[in-house]
Amino acid sequence: MGGVARPDGGDVVVIVAFDRVQLLDVAGPLEVFTTANRSGARYDVRVVSPDGHDVVTSCGLRIGVDTSLEELPGSPHTLVVPGRRDWRSATAEPGLVPLVAALAARTRRVTSVCAGAFVLAHTGILDGRRATTHWELAPQLAAAYPGVRVEPDLVFVRDRHLVTSAGVTAGIDMALALVEEDHGADVARDVARQLVVFMARPGGQSQFSVRMTPPSRHPLVRRVMDEVTADPSVPAGVAALAAGVGISTRHLTRLFRQETGMTPGQYVDAVRLEAAKVLLSSGTAPVEEVARHAGFGSSETMRRLFQNTLGVSPTVYRARFRTTAVSA
C-alpha cells in the first residue's frame, strides 16, 4: 500500500499502521483521500509505523510503510489512527502510543477509526471530549477511559479538532465528511459516487448493534428481566412487573436504575426492539404481525420506537438487513 501519489504542496495526511491493524481502517480513509485527488483535492497521504517497517494487517495482508517520522512535515494536516479489536494489545504495542501522542501534538486535525479511539484515549487527548467507536466496544471505551464522553450511536463524532468514527467502514463516512469540509460538497459527492457509498449514511450505529444489557445481580431485577426476555409480548406495564415480584413500582424503578442504568419501561422497549429486529430480518411476516409478536400495542408504536432509536423505519430496517440478494 506504499507508493501513494503525493501532490506537490498537498495537505499531508498521516495514517498510522501497526501489526494486526484492521485493514479496512487503513484502506478506507486512504482510498477516500486519494480518490478525492482525482476531483481536485490535494492530499499527500503517508503511511507510518512505530518502527518504520512494513506491517501485517488483521487479515494477514502486508502493507508497506512509505515514509519515516523524520520525513514528515512539522505540522501535518490530518492524522488518522486506525485500530484493531484487541485494543489492549494495541495500546501496549511498543512505540505506538508515544508515536500517536507525538503526532497528535503537532497535527491540525486528529482522527481515529473504530478501536483507534482506544489508542487516542490512552494518550489522554480524549479526556473531557466526546468520542465514539464500534458499538460493541463503546462500553469498554467508557469503562477503561472514564474521562471520555462516549457517544455509542453516532457514526462519527467531532469535538473541536478531534474526530472519532465508529466501526470499520465508518472510517469512510468520516473521511468523506473531512473531504467535504476541506474541499466542498461537490468533491465529496464525486468521491462517494466513485466508491459507490452513501454521501451520508442514514441512521446511526444502533441499527447494526445488538443491545447487550448486563445481567443484574439483584434477584428481583433479574426475575423481571428474565420474564420480559422470555416473552416480550406479555403485557409489561411497570405496575404489573412490580406486582409480579411483590414490590412497589417506585422501588422497582429505583432498583432497575441502580442495576441497569435504565427504567423498567426502557428495558421493556429495548427487549421488544431487539425482538422486532430479529423478526424483521429473519422472516416475511407483515409489519403489523411483527409488532404484535414483539409486544408492541400497534405497528405505529413500533415505528416510532424504531425511528427514535435507530433513525430508520421497520420497513427500511428489513430492507437493509433481511438479505443481500438483489430484489426485482
Cell reading at 261 = 442504568
Q: Is 45 or 213 the better-scoring residue by pLDDT?
A: 45
Q: What is the pLDDT of residues 105-138, one digit of tens each?
A: 999 999 999 999 999 999 999 999 999 999 889 9
The hierarchical CATH code for the domain 219-321 is 1.10.10.60
Hey, where are the domains in the chain? 11-205, 219-321
Cell reading at 283 = 422472516
d(CA 302, CA 292) in angstroms, rounded, equals: 9
Over range 197-211, report the average pLDDT: 61
327: confidence class by pLDDT, cuts 50, 70, 90: very low
282: confidence class by pLDDT, cuts 50, 70, 90: confident
pLDDT at 162: 97
Lowest mean pLDDT among 46-50, 111-115, 144-148, 186-190: 186-190
d(CA 197, CA 201) in angstroms, rounded, equals: 8
Percent of the chain at pLDDT > 70 equals: 90
Over range 73-90, report the average pLDDT: 94
Common-topology check for domains 11-205 and 219-321: no
Assess whether pLDDT exceeds 80 at residue 73: yes
251: confidence class by pLDDT, cuts 50, 70, 90: very high
DSSP 67-78: --GGGS-SS-SE
Contacts of 260 (CB under 8 A, 6+ apart): 213, 214, 216, 221, 225, 267
* Predicted TM-score (pTM) of this structure: 0.69
CB contact at 8 A, 192 and 199: yes
Over range 77-86, report the average pLDDT: 96
**Burial classification of residue 121, based on how many CB atoms lie within 10 Å of its CB (0-12 exposed, 13-18 middle, 19 or more buried):** buried
Over range 9-28, report the average pLDDT: 94
Q: Catalytic residue at 114?
A: yes
Per annotation, catalytic residue among 48, 79, 90, 114: 114
Assess whether pLDDT exceeds 60 at residue 157: yes
Q: What is the pLDDT of residues 308-322, one digit of tens each?
A: 888 889 999 888 777
User: So what CATH class is 11-205?
Assistant: alpha beta
Assess whether pLDDT exceeds 70 at residue 8: no
User: What phi, psi does 152 have (nearest 5°)?
Assistant: -75, -20
pLDDT at 321: 73
Closest CA relative to residue 75, chosen from 96, 104, 112 = 104
Give the Cβ contact number of residue 177 at 10 Å. Answer: 20
